[in-house]
């Protein structure tokens, strides 16, 4: 599966004239393939397989593996770093770029509760809050949701039915 995702991403970005390469390494200790892409002179990791964490049943996915630095993706992935470009920049990481971190109850209300009540779909990365606490809160609003753990934090995608 990962080879297919990586091949498709490589093909599509190449068709757009973008500089992309495929990485053969390990994800979660298992053999795994993902991509690196160059944007504005910086390299970033993109793992479409792990990004499709929810199986796509309801057209939701996590962005936790979109435009990652070596440090970010290195928490769950390993590869021969000498064989690939360095990816040191964190500025394009999806959750950071769009200020979608939730780190306390005030941000949970602002970035999750308020948006759900207005009918918007929510996609955030949660740090410093318990997953049960966040799930209970989202359920109390009547929302449907998915969570996916990412080494000490978790992504939350939620929407109103």
pLDDT of residue 149: 81
Q: How confident is the model at residue 59 (pLDDT cuts 50, 70, 90)?
A: low
Q: What contacts 41, CB < 8 A, 6 or more positions away?
A: none
Question: Mean pLDDT over residues 40-64, rounded?
Answer: 77
Q: How many whole angstroms separate alpha carbon 17 and alpha carbon 35?
A: 15
Q: Residue 56: is its pLDDT beyond 50?
A: no
Pairing label, strands 42-46, 66-68? antiparallel
Q: How many whole angstroms separate alpha carbon 159 and alpha carbon 161?
A: 6
Q: Residue 54: is its pLDDT beyond 60?
A: no
Q: How many whole angstroms separate alpha carbon 141 and alpha carbon 156?
A: 14
pLDDT of residue 74: 93
Q: Which tokens hold the place of 90?
A: 């964190």
Q: Which tokens hold the place of 121?
A: 């779909």
Total length of the chain: 161
Residues 125, 22, 146, CA angle at the centre, nearest 5°? Answer: 25
Cβ count within 10 A of residue 105 = 14
Q: Residue 153: is its pLDDT beyond 80?
A: yes
Largest Cα span, the chain: 48
pLDDT of residue 151: 77
For residue 108, the SS3 value is: helix
Q: How many whole angstroms separate alpha carbon 23 and alpha carbon 25?
A: 6
């Amino acid at each position: 599966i990962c080879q297919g995702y990586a091949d498709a991403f490589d093909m599509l970005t190449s068709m757009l004239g973008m500089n992309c390469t495929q990485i053969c390494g390990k994800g979660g200790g298992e053999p795994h393939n993902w991509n690196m892409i160059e944007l504005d002179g910086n390299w970033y990791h993109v793992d479409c397989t792990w990004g499709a964490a929810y199986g796509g049943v309801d057209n939701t996915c996590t962005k936790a593996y979109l435009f990652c630095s070596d440090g970010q993706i290195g928490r769950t992935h390993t590869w021969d770093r000498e064989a690939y470009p360095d990816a040191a920049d964190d500025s394009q990481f999806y959750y950071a770029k769009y200020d979608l971190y939730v780190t306390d109850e005030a941000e949970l209300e602002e970035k999750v509760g308020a948006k759900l009540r207005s009918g918007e779909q929510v996609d955030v990365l949660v740090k410093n809050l318990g997953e049960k606490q966040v799930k209970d809160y989202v359920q109390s609003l009547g929302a449907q949701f998915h969570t996916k753990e990412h080494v000490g934090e978790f992504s939350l995608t939620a929407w109103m039915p």
